Structure formats: C-alpha cells, structure tokens
Amino acid sequence: MLGAVCLVALAAAGIAAVAGFGIGSLLTPTLAIYYPAKLAVAAVSIPHLVATGYRLWLVRKHIDYKLLRSFGLTSAAGGLLGAVTGTWLTSRTLEVVLAALLLFVGLGGLAGWTKNLRFHGVWAWVAGGVSGFLGGLVGNQGGLRAGAMLGLGTTKASFIATATATGVIVDLARMPVYVATQWDELSKLWLAIAAMVCGVLAGTYFGMSLLKRIPEDRFFQVVSVLLVGLGIWLLLK
C-alpha cells in the first residue's frame, strides 16, 4: 500500500506542477481505497500543502498579485464554503455536471474558444468565487480553478504561480481544521503520510523540470488536455 500511494503521489504532483491541479483529484481516491473517505481527505491535505508550498517557493517571482487579490482570494473563499457545504450536500448528479463542465472547458481550450473569454474586473471575482465553490462541493477545487483561469489571459508562469498561491491559501485554512478534528486517526497514518510527502516532493521536482520544456504557446493546450482527463475521471469514478 505504501508503495502504491507513493507512486500515485509522485505522478499527481508531477501533473500538478504542470497544470496547477491534480494531487487531491488522484491521491484522495487512491487513499480512500484503504481508509474512510473523510480520513483520506484529511490525510491528503498534508502532502498537498507540502507540494503546493514547495511549488510556490519555486515560482514565487511570477505571482500576479492583482489577480491573486481578486480571482485568487474569492476562489479560495468559495472553495472553503463549498467544502463546508459539501459535508451536508453530496450528490453524484452534481459531480457529473461538474465533470461535464470540465470537459466543456477543456475541449473549449483545445478548440481555441477560451481565447475569446476574458474575465476582468468584477468578473474575475465572480469567476473565482463560483469556480471555487463548485470545486469545493465535489473536492476538485484545483481543476475548476484552472479551468476558470483559462479565461484570465495569463502567461504560463503567472498561471502556475497564481494558481499555486491560491491553493496554498486554501490549504492553510483547511488543514488545521482536519488536524484538530482528526488528530488521533491521522497520527496512526504517519507512514502513509510520510510516503505521500516523499512522493509529492519528488513529483513536484520532476514536474517543474518538465514545465520548463513546454513552450508558452503549447502550455494552455496541455492544461486543456488535463482538464478533459479530469472530467473523464470524474465521470468514471
């Protein structure tokens, strides 16, 4: 089991380094095979914070602080609200709808439709809040956040850095709650958590190396492909 979660953590962190999402989407279902889903979410929040924190340190010079103050903060707030709401409201129908939305956005990116979308001013705030809330409901904040960011007209470096900074804000807000409420259960999983931490650190390192080799004009196509993959994953999960 430790080997499996470490390998998935490595792959998930590599994808997240390129696209800004993927760790929770891949690692949480894997850990939930062995442990209750609620505990899996709490356990994955620890390597998730480690990976996003490490990635943020590497790309910190490229953060678009204006975008972070608008889209990023409302996305983080919406994600936390959605996560809290999701503890009372769970719906497979909602998950399918969001999967379809990811597919639409991803395919739109591949077809070039998103180039015509531009969220400015108050619309950046709205896009952040709505995408964060919907993502929080089904536990895939990163994917929907990345999908909404395709319409912000950012550069590759700014996209990754700002999405990562937003993820760190969410992690810093939610992880203390998980630790405080589930400390006894989490302490028994220290080996699995350590394996995931090792995996995400290695995956982030290799993923960042890969990111440098992706041309600027191809980057958003890669993100779109990964969004389509996440949408298919949600449909089949």
Q: Are 202 and 14 in contact, with CB atoms under 8 Å apart?
A: no
Instruction: Tell me the pLDDT band of 173, cut-offs 50, 70 and 90.
Output: confident
How many CB atoms lie under 10 A from the CB of residue 209? 11
How many CB atoms lie under 10 A from the CB of residue 150? 22
First and final C-alpha spacing in the chain: 20
The highest-confidence range among 102-111, 172-181, 199-208, by mean pLDDT, is 199-208
Q: pTM for the full model? A: 0.82
Instruction: Please give the structure tokens belonging to residue 92.
Output: 């497979």
Q: Tokens 């440098």 identify what position? A: 212
Instruction: Tell me the pLDDT band of 136, cut-offs 50, 70 and 90.
Output: low
Q: Are 149 and 224 in contact, with CB atoms under 8 Å apart?
A: no
**Mean pLDDT of the 71-89 span:** 74
**Mean pLDDT of the 3-24 span:** 89
Residue 19 has pLDDT above 70, yes or no: yes
Sorted by where each begins, the domain ranges of the chain are 2-236
Q: Is the dihedral of CA 155, 156, 162, 163 positive or negative?
A: positive
Mean pLDDT over each residue of the chain, to the nearest integer = 83
Identify the CA nearest to 140 among candidates 201, 222, 11, 227.
Answer: 227
User: Using CA atoms, how far apart are residues 102 and 83, in angstroms rounded to an integer?
Assistant: 18
